[in-house]
Structure 1
């Protein structure tokens, strides 16, 4: 018979039903255990990597918060000195960092959801692995009548951890790109799309400058 290879099969298949169709139940259960152990290691590795990614994003978000406050203060000092162009440049940096922060917050939420799902998958796999090992011990104890043992429930909900890991790796690559680019404010070599986006940013900066002037004016009045 063809051996189960997908996590969905491992998590939903009735071990007893598989054994009923197996020509060599002991070999079948042994292979099932090996597959479950391999899948468990894979999911744990993805979970560990994802937890590290979450911590990395959280640290960078903290740095962004500090830099946003810093550029806000610089813009305020420029306004107080009647240096509108400097204030606009500072507000442009602040806006750029705020957009990075919003994007990274979404990626962090996705990564945190993935962590929860990984933890659930690990718990279910460990439970199924323990039950399958019990059946292996029963078989090697020359008890081939599996009806006396409670069957593994087939309605266990699961996720496609391998597919989720692939999606996460794609997301992680985009996060790494953004983190590498975040050290410098892109002032040159803009693409057409970036130039169009710059027009929108300029309008936002102008509005932010007017708002900041009003705040400074109300304080000094």
Structure 2
């Protein structure tokens, strides 16, 4: 198992353990993203060092190959001039350069494989971070909606409790009593008016009384 796989499993384990305790899981996701980004930056630094080493080996290989070709030309030149001793010395240098080149080539191939593997892991980690960011946004929306729904349900639950229930029958009875009282007061007012009219009939007609005095 590679370092990034272990790192990913470690993050998942931490998330699973912490989700049971944290009040706001979005904060945990934000922290996870920050941790992953920090790991990515460190991995990129290591990758840069490995890639730099690969380029350095490439330069040394090019130098060794160029030197080998140069000594090969010197061997040919010395042989053409009949100077075998000088040709042997040049050949020894050429073989030394070839040996150095072969050794560097092996190191280069190993370093290149490691660099390619590391770059692939970096892409995986970058994709994982992007997926986590996307999930974080989705989870945040769901979490906020759940919080809002929870508050609404709590409000509705309080409205439905016995202490807050509105008894429509009681209200209807109170309204009817108020209406009956108003009608009763109206009837009393009408009765009083009728009594007053009868009282007027009983009142003494002063003009008639004066006529009686005149007749006497």
The TM-score, its normalising length taken from structure 2, stands at 0.55
Structure 2 match to 1:209: none
CA distance in 2, matches of 1:110, 1:16: 33
Q: Retained in 1: the 8 A contact 2:4–2:121? A: no
Structure 1 match to 2:108: 108
Structure 1 match to 2:33: 33
Please say if 1:59 is aligned against 2:47.
no
Structure 2 match to 1:11: 8
CA distance in 1, matches of 2:137, 2:55: 41
CA distance in 1, matches of 2:46, 2:81: 52
Gaps of 5+ in 2: 146-216
Structure of larger gyration radius: 2
Return closer, same or farther for 1:104/1:144 CA change in 2, 3 Å cut-off.
farther
Query: What pairs up with 1:1-221 in 2 under 5 angstroms?
Result: 7-12=4-9, 15=12, 18-19=15-16, 22=19, 23-24=21-22, 25-141=25-141, 143=143
CA distance in 2, matches of 1:52, 1:14: 30
Q: Give per-residue Cα distances to partners, 1:102-149, cap 9 Å, x unaligned.
A: 01111111121112112211111011111222333344435289xxxx
**How many angstroms does 1:17 deviate by?**
8.8
SS of 2:82's partner is: coil
Return closer, same or farther for 1:144/1:104 CA change in 2, 3 Å cut-off.
farther
SS of 2:32's partner is: helix
**How many angstroms does 1:11 deviate by?**
2.8
Return closer, same or farther for 1:10/1:141 CA change in 2, 3 Å cut-off.
farther
The TM-score, its normalising length taken from structure 1, stands at 0.54
CA distance in 2, matches of 1:79, 1:28: 76
RMSD: 2.8
Q: Give per-residue Cα distances to partners, 1:35-72, cap 9 Å, x unaligned.
A: 21011112222222333332222232222222111111
Structure with the greater relative contact order (CA < 8 A, sep ≥ 6): 1 or 2? 1
Q: Retained in 2: the 8 A contact 1:15–1:132? A: no
Return closer, same or farther for 1:18/1:30 CA change in 2, 3 Å cut-off.
same
Q: Give per-residue Cα distances to partners, 1:59-90, cap 9 Å, x unaligned.
A: 32222222111111112222233322222211
